[in-house]
Amino acid sequence: MANDLHPGKKIYPAHGDPIRIVPLHVPDSVRQPTAEAAAAGPTPAPQLTFRNGPLITAVEVFTIFWGPAWQAAQSAIATQINQFFDFILTSSLIDQLGEYSVPGHQISQGKRTGTLTITTPRLRHSVSDRGIQHMLQLYFVYVQPGVRIVQGGGASCQAFCGYHNDMSSQIFYAAMPYPGCGGCTGGLSVFDALTSTSSHELCEAITDPIPGLGWYDDANGEIGDICAWKTKKIGQYTVQLEWSNQANQCV
């Protein structure tokens, strides 16, 4: 998996473990090339290629805030994250992904379809599978402060700051740990770090919803991985730059 904890020793997955993560932020001052990396030569220039998998063309985002802290001390930031999605899903951030449209699948602006704060993983009432498929495209799950997410042999704040994946190729989700460490704030405020990592996973989920089967670069990963922790402002929000094949740079 992409992992900037070990600069120059990036390991990208074969299809066995294609989950894409937001790597921890590493200050430039400690980004020293390793002897191994020097021997391996320069990383190839980024160029995403399309692998014929699905794209999310008009994304519908549903946020899930998991843990009682989201109802109490953290309720303001949960509200702010929802406002962030309401704004950013109809912003230039989504427009810039238009270059990754393919015939019959035009990537266009989306919307937030709802939000939920849950305190247990158990659903209290039944919901049909068909209902779920019609209601939701992309779940963003925010785990409350102090709880780490373990995935693929690593953990949040130790190996990653977020990731996205698919369930049964139909329901897509992004797992967002609370940025409770310097590696996952990258010098930003907690909220700006959350919107930066959220925009990273949002753009990747749209252009590569089944990791590795959409727009992908075997050496450099997905659209957001190439530009990890490079940010800009859209409106009042901090978002991450994303790779543009057309511009041949992060935009």
**Least CB distance from residue 72 to Zn ion, whole Å?**
31
The C-alpha atoms of residue 75 and residue 84 are separated, in whole angstroms, by 14
Q: Rg for the chain (alpha carbons), in Å?
A: 17
Q: Which is nearer to Zn ion, 179 or 224 (CB)?
A: 224
Segment interacting with Zn ion (CB under 5 A) among 18-26, 45-53, 65-73, 82-90:
18-26
The C-alpha atoms of residue 122 and residue 191 are separated, in whole angstroms, by 28
Residue of minimal CB distance from Zn ion? 20
**Least CB distance from residue 216 to Zn ion, whole Å?**
11
DSSP code, position 46: P
Calculate the alpha carbon distances from 67 to 10, 54, 78, 247 in Å.
Answer: 33, 32, 11, 41
Q: Phi/psi zone of residue 201: left (φ > 0), alpha (ψ -120 to 50 degrees), beta?
A: alpha
**Least CB distance from residue 230 to Zn ion, whole Å?**
13
Segment interacting with Zn ion (CB under 5 A) among 25-33, 91-99, 215-223, 233-241:
215-223
> Which residue in the set 4, 10, 12, 20 belongs to the binding site for Zn ion (CB under 5 A)?
20
* Token pair for 104: 């019959």
Q: Which is nearer to Zn ion, 4 or 204 (CB)?
A: 204
The C-alpha atoms of residue 148 and residue 56 are separated, in whole angstroms, by 28
Which residues within the stretch 56-115 sit at the binding site for Zn ion (CB under 5 A)?
none
Burial class (CB in 10 A: 0-12, 13-18, 19+), 187: exposed
> Which residue in the set 154, 195, 224, 229 belongs to the binding site for Zn ion (CB under 5 A)?
224
> Residue 22 — φ and ψ, nearest 5°?
-85, 120
Which residues within the stretch 176-205 sit at the binding site for Zn ion (CB under 5 A)?
204
Q: Which is nearer to Zn ion, 217 or 225 (CB)?
A: 225
Q: How many residues bind Zn ion (CB under 5 A)?
A: 5
The C-alpha atoms of residue 184 and residue 24 are separated, in whole angstroms, by 5
**Least CB distance from residue 222 to Zn ion, whole Å?**
5
- Is 225 among the residues that bind Zn ion (CB under 5 A)? yes
- Is 212 among the residues that bind Zn ion (CB under 5 A)? no
> Footprint of Zn ion on this chain (CB under 5 A)?
20, 204, 222, 224-225
